[in-house]
Chain A
C-alpha cells in the first residue's frame, strides 16, 4: 500500500525544477495528442514559435494579444490572493467595455486627451461595479461568488447582444446588427507599432505588484486570503477589504475591456472578452499570483495564441489548440504542486501489523 505524507520544505531551486519538469511533461503530453492526429508535434511547436516571432509584424501582433491577457490576469490576481473566486472576469471586461463605449459613441466630438481618461475611468467604474455586486452579496448574505460572478458573465454578454440589436445598432450597417466603429478621437494611438494599451498594461503590472507587496491594503488582502478569522481577530474590517479588493479586481478587468474596444477592436462586439476572463485565471494561477509572473506567463500564452493561428493556416488545426495546450499545462502544474508538498511512501509498517494481527 502506498500512502501520502508531507515532505520537508523544499528549496526554491527544487520547486523550480519540479515546476519546469511539469511544464516539459505537459508539452510532451500535448505533443502526443498532436501526434495522435497524424501531425508532427515538433513541427507544430516550431511553427508556434516562429509564427509568433517570424517578423516585426508578428511580434507586434503577439504583443497585441498579450495586452488583454496580462491586464485581466492582474485583475484576477487581486481577488484570488484574497481567496475570493472571481471567475467573472469575462463579465467585468465586458462591462468596462460597455461603459467606455458609451462615451466613444456619444461624446466622439471630445478631443482624445479628454476622451481617453474619461473612457478609462468609465471602464474602471463599469468593471468595478460589476464585480461589486457579487462582493456585496457575499459579504452581506454569503452568496456563492463562484456561481454568481459566472452568471454575471452571461448577463453582461447578452446585454451587449441587446445593445447591438437595439439601442446602439449602427443604422449605416444595412440591417446587420453591429455597433458603429469608433471615431478617431476614441481610439488609442499606436506606440512602436502596437496599440498603446501595452504601456497601460506594464504600468498596471508595477502598480499591482507594489500595491500587493508594499502597502497596508496588500497586506490585508493576503491576511484575509490566509484566514478570515485571523483577519477579523487582528481587528481588520473583513467586509470592507473584500468589497474594496473586488472593486479593484473588477476595475482592472474593466480597464482590459476599455483597452480592447478602444485599442484593438475599435468597436464593441459580443466577442470583446472572448474567453480572456477564463484564460486570465490560468495565467494568474500559473504565475502563483505574482504580477511579474503574470507578465511572463501572459507572454508565453500570447506566443501560444498567436502561434496557433499560424498553425491553423499551415496545418489546418484550429486555434482551439491553444486552449487545449493551456489546459494541459495547468493540469500538470496543478499536479506537480503535490510533489512539492507531499510524497508517497510504501506503507510497510501497516502491512507488518496486519500480518502480525493475522497470526495472533
Chain B
C-alpha cells in the first residue's frame, strides 16, 4: 500500500516538477512569469495533437517543448524588450494559453469523426512505465525506481541538469548574477538581454513538457478541456517552497504529488473526508507554506534580487 502510494505520488508530482523547474529558470533572471498555467496548457495542446497525429512520443515531447518556447516568447518580448508589467503580462499569457488550448481542443473535436480525441496505441505504449529487464523485476526497488513513464526520468534529468548548469558552469553563475543585479552583470560584460531571453524561453519549453504530461497521461489519453487544471499555479508557488533550486523542486513536487493522490490511499477506516476537501488540500497547504515562509524573520537569500523588476539599461 505504501509502495503503491509513493509510486502514484511520483507520477502525480511530474507535471509540477516540470512547471517548477521551468519557472525557476525564468525567475533566476528576475522574471516572475505568472503564465506557467498558460504555457503548460499550450504545451499540453501541442503535445497531445502532435502525439495523436504522429503516434510518436518523441515528437509529442518536442512539440510540447517548442510550443512552450513560443508561448514564453510572447512573455519575453513583452517584459524584456517592451518592459511591460510582469504580473499583467504573465496573467494574460495564462488566460490566453488556457483559452487557446481549450479552443483548439474543441475545434479538433469538431473535426474528429469519432467525436472524441484519443491517443493511438503506439504512443500509449511508448509512454507506459519503462521495463528494464532485471532491474525492473527486483522486488520493491524495481517498482520504486524503474517502473515509471519516461516523463518521470526526463523531469528528474532536467532538474539535475539545471542544477549543474546553475552551480557548476560560468554561464550559470552569470545568469544568477543577472537575477540578483542586472546592472552589475551588464557592467561586467554579461549579455543581459540574451540570457534573459534564453532562460525564459527554455523555462517555457520545460513548462510545456509538463503540460504534455497532463494531456497525455493524466486523463488516460483522452483530450478534455482545462486539463492542466491549476497545476501551473501550484508550480509557481512551489518555486518559493523549493527556494529557487531545481534540485529541491524534486522534493517539493513530490510532497504535492503525494497530497494530490492522498485521497485514494487513506483507508476509509482511518479518516473519512469528502472528496472536495481532499482536492482542496494542496492549495491549503501551499497557502500555509506561503504564510509560514514569509513569517520567518530572515530574508531568503536565494530569492533573485531583481525579481519582478524590469531592467532598463539607460537607468543604471
Contact = CB atoms under 8 A, between A and B. Distances in A.
B103 A335 contact: no
Interface string B222-235: 00010000100100
Interface string A324-345: 1011101100110110001000
A278 B91 contact: yes
12 contacts: A3-B314, A137-B290, A151-B286, A162-B274, A275-B95, A285-B88, A317-B107, A320-B225, A331-B78, A331-B89, A338-B83, A338-B84
A5 B314 CA distance: 7
Given A87-B34, A323-B96, 14 more contacts: A5-B314, A137-B290, A137-B294, A148-B291, A150-B236, A151-B237, A151-B283, A154-B233, A158-B277, A159-B276, A161-B279, A320-B225, A324-B103, A335-B77
A328 B92 CA distance: 9
Given A165-B274, A165-B275, A165-B276, A337 B84 contact: yes
B91 A147 contact: no
A151 B287 contact: yes
B52 interface: no
Nearest to A138: B294
B91 A281 contact: yes
Interface of B: 34, 74, 77-78, 81-85, 87-89, 91-100, 102-103, 106-107, 110, 225, 230, 233, 236-237, 240, 274-277, 279-280, 283-284, 286-287, 290-291, 294-295, 312-314
Nearest to B238: A147
A318 B84 contact: no
A44 interface: no
A334 B279 contact: no
B290 A144 contact: yes
Given A166-B274, A320-B99, A85 B87 contact: yes
A85 B314 CA distance: 27
A322 B100 CA distance: 10
Contacts of A87: 34, 91
B82 A324 contact: no
Contacts of A281: 88, 91
Interface string A144-177: 1011101110110011011001100000000000
B96 A155 contact: no
B271 to A, nearest CB: 15
A230 interface: no
Contacts of A328: 96
A158 B279 contact: yes
Contact of A161 (B78, B91, B96, B276): B276
Given A152-B287, A161-B279, A320 B106 contact: yes
Main secondary structure of the interface of A (DSSP, over half): helix
Contacts of A204: none
Closest 10 CB pairs of A and B: A323-B99, A327-B96, A158-B280, A162-B276, A318-B106, A338-B82, A161-B276, A320-B103, A154-B283, A143-B294
Contacts of B277: 158, 162
B300 to A, nearest CB: 11
Given A151-B237, A161-B279, A342 B83 contact: yes
A6 B314 contact: yes
B291 A137 contact: yes
A264 to B, nearest CB: 22
Interface in A285-336: 285, 316-318, 320-324, 326-328, 330-331, 334-335
A151 B286 CA distance: 7
A107 to B, nearest CB: 25
Interface residues of A, number: 50
Contacts of B97: 327
Nearest to B315: A6
Contacts of B240: 144, 147
A282 interface: yes
Contacts of A4: 312-314
A15 B241 CA distance: 42
Contacts of A233: none
Nearest to B314: A5
Contacts of B102: 318, 320, 323
Contacts of A334: 78, 82, 84-85, 88-89, 92
Contact of A282 (B92, B291, B294): B92
B113 to A, nearest CB: 14
A281 B85 CA distance: 13
Contacts of B93: 327
A47 interface: no
A334 B81 CA distance: 12
Nearest to A177: B276
A331 B275 CA distance: 38
Contacts of A338: 81-84
A147 B163 CA distance: 25
A142 interface: yes
A305 to B, nearest CB: 12
Contacts of A337: 82, 84
Contacts of A320: 99-100, 102-103, 106, 225
Contacts of B236: 147, 150
Contacts of B312: 4
A158 B283 contact: yes
B42 to A, nearest CB: 11
